Structure 1
């Protein structure tokens, strides 16, 4: 066959007909045609039964969720085949079993019936490797937790990402459940795949009573850090957990200005998330440095500009005396550059009201106008132009206007001439 041969529609049709005739004359085809009616007959007879069975199983899930034990028990007693079908059944995308549903919703009577009467395995996992004990602990159902533990459930079983039931319990305020797990042997020092132990998790959730208890039963549990070197103090400061931060500063021995892998300190976390009360507490009780820079050299002022924390900027500049024009990173960016780049109009106004240098250029001779135009932030461009910032060229000869792409940004430059002076020297 020549290399240039192309299969035409006509040739494909002929090839298909030849293949079909060969199949029709074969013994396999004869056999298939004989059993096909039997197969279809069986399928049509089984389909209604399968649909009815599926509907019954869904009804069981609904009864569990609603806690209607008598109806639930009655359904199972009437149909032994249903019992066998659901004993090891995993439902839906999550792969939950009836035990997971009962434990999650806190229905002890149903949970006990499934274990004692149906003899379901209390260690059955769903698709996230959660056991019923994880569900009961995470939802704070103490009676279900105690029942499962009494039945021999593994107290430190792991779900996906290596979370134990105790870790799940520490996301809630139910201290009794946490106590029950620890009294039954749960290890408070275990870490999940991110390097968090239960103390770290409780610090994020902001429950000082849980923190106090964990320190009492595991005094060293505070001395931990995640895989990216964040401590519970970082986490509590970031999430605005003032009462927890207070306990951590009083009872733990964290080093002032401890840094994570990005060079972020707890004070920076508090500032860039707008928790000024925690920032004050860290300054007063922990001697935090309000001028420390992260791994790239950005100070709390610059981080606050990135996240538009205007009150934090006022606090840093007006109360702590931080220079509003402080430079960050090797590019020598000001807070005004950061605010313009992120498109934070209110932060630009705040910085200008604090006498930020409107004409400041970074290490590449770019103004805040370049940053705003690069991000297509029309409101920010308008504010900067109205404040008197004129367009100019950076060290590559590029004007801010040349970076504008959106029509609403381009319109702001109508009638404005870009300075054609000499290009700034590269710094």
Structure 2
């Protein structure tokens, strides 16, 4: 089998430069036997194509788990970065492929790679894709709940902007800061812009500040459509202070932070109260 060769690549320390090799193609298309043959013939698993994309990036982008394992076993760099700084784990999280994400983490992929002006974290990517199981997995592996992206803000901002309610629940139960802001814009602003009642109610239950003003000096209610359930909900919150029960719940979760789930589930209290505290 003929293996493509390429001129040396001098701008990085991974492999060589090529347009798109047969290794990339096999990895992307999930051709396990072809990829195995190429590797056995001596093809580099770390060869880079345009934009510094490695075969592992290609396999992760399509959720080709068998190819991912084959490449990793052959020595592929698990945290290789493309020109935008994305790692294979970021790619797998973006498509919500749980099996592929699990495998990359098993092989030591960094759950908190250094962010740049062009990079989002694996948790951001999982939140954008709306896969709650992947969100839970990377959080369990230590993903930073407050990782900050210049364009999107925190993972909670991303999740609310994309209206993934299940992921919002996972983040909040894990201890994400409900009032974290990007340009003074909170997650509640995003929920209000989407007129998403369920999301608004959930955020308020976790202590979202209905009076927070963004860089346009607008409160969340200012972004809701008039006479909609979302608008009525925020107006009602404005005119009715939180109950002592709600305030106690918010205080408890604020104090416990990321330890809330572990601590609350071990308390000797009725399950209905645990469910209330965790909003399950």
**TM-score, shorter chain, exceeding 0.5:** yes
Secondary structure at 1:204 match in 2? helix
**What do the CA deviations read for 1:333-363 (whole angstroms, capped 9, x no partner)?**
xxxxxxxxxxxxxxxxxxxxxxxxxxxxxxx
Question: Which residue of 169, 179, 196 maps to 1:257?
Answer: 179
Larger RCO (CA under 8 A, 6+ residues apart): 2
Question: Which residue of 156, 161, 173 maps to 2:96?
Answer: 173
What displacement does 1:123 show?
1.3
Asked if 1:189 is matched to 2:112, the reply is yes
Q: 1: distance between equivalents of 2:223 and 2:227?
A: 9
Secondary structure at 1:321 match in 2? helix
Question: Which residue of 102, 105, 114 maps to 2:38?
Answer: 114
Q: 1: distance between equivalents of 2:233 and 2:102?
A: 44
Q: 2: distance between equivalents of 1:175 and 1:321?
A: 40
Match of 2:228 in 1: 314
Q: 1: distance between equivalents of 2:230 and 2:126?
A: 29
Partners of 1:140 and 1:174 within 8 A in 2: yes
Asked if 1:270 is matched to 2:194, the reply is no
Match of 2:65 in 1: 142
What displacement does 1:221 show?
2.3
Match of 1:124 in 2: 47
CA spacing shift, 1:152–1:276, aligned 2, 3 Å: same
CA spacing shift, 1:318–1:225, aligned 2, 3 Å: same
Match of 1:327 in 2: none
Match of 2:272 in 1: none
CA spacing shift, 1:318–1:180, aligned 2, 3 Å: closer
What displacement does 1:301 show?
3.8
Match of 1:292 in 2: 212
The alignment's TM-score, normalised by the length of structure 1, stands at: 0.49
Partners of 2:121 and 2:147 within 8 A in 1: yes
Q: 1: distance between equivalents of 2:231 and 2:170?
A: 28
* Two-structure CA RMSD over aligned residues (Å): 2.2
Secondary structure at 2:135 match in 1? helix
Partners of 1:271 and 1:279 within 8 A in 2: yes
Partners of 1:103 and 1:133 within 8 A in 2: yes
Which runs of 5 or more residues in structure 2 are unaligned? Answer: 8-17, 237-280
Partners of 1:97 and 1:126 within 8 A in 2: yes
- Equivalent pairs counted in the alignment come to 225
Question: Which residue of 196, 199, 218 maps to 2:123?
Answer: 199
Q: 2: distance between equivalents of 1:313 and 1:99?
A: 57
CA spacing shift, 1:171–1:317, aligned 2, 3 Å: closer
CA spacing shift, 1:313–1:162, aligned 2, 3 Å: farther
Partners of 2:221 and 2:235 within 8 A in 1: no
**What do the CA deviations read for 1:92-130 (whole angstroms, capped 9, x no partner)?**
xx921111111000001111112212x222111111110
What displacement does 1:229 show?
7.3
